[in-house]
Amino acid sequence: MRYSDEQRIKKILGYAEELMQYVKKHNVSRDIIKEDHDIQWAITTPLYNIGEQAYFLTQEFKNKNPQILWSNISGLRHRLVHDYDGTNWEMVAGIVFEDIPALIKQLKELVK
């Protein structure tokens, strides 16, 4: 099925919000992300999905919304999938605690 940009943005927002709910519910901290393999697996799935949806947004939509770093988002998915063993979990923790909350705010502005 081919999704519209609006549908993809809503999917990205949903995955991001679910990720943050999981982090809160399970008291995930930066240190836990760096050390706990089960948590690493749990948080990478929504990050994959966010990156996949971002990758398939139309170039026109991405160009109209350059405030969001679409290539970084889809690039993270690529790195997690293709170089999982080389994952920098400190960087991922920063993404979860800094970038995802900021992304949620940006996406909410887009879906207004």
- As annotated, the active-site residues are 77, 82
In one-letter notation, the amino acid at residue 67 is Q
For 30, residues 6+ apart whose C-beta sits below 8 A from its C-beta are 90, 93, 94, 97
Q: How many residues does the chain have?
A: 112
For 95, residues 6+ apart whose C-beta sits below 8 A from its C-beta are 47, 76
**What 3 state SS string does 37-72 have?**
HHHHHHHHHHHHHHHHHHHCCCHHHHHHCCCCCHHH
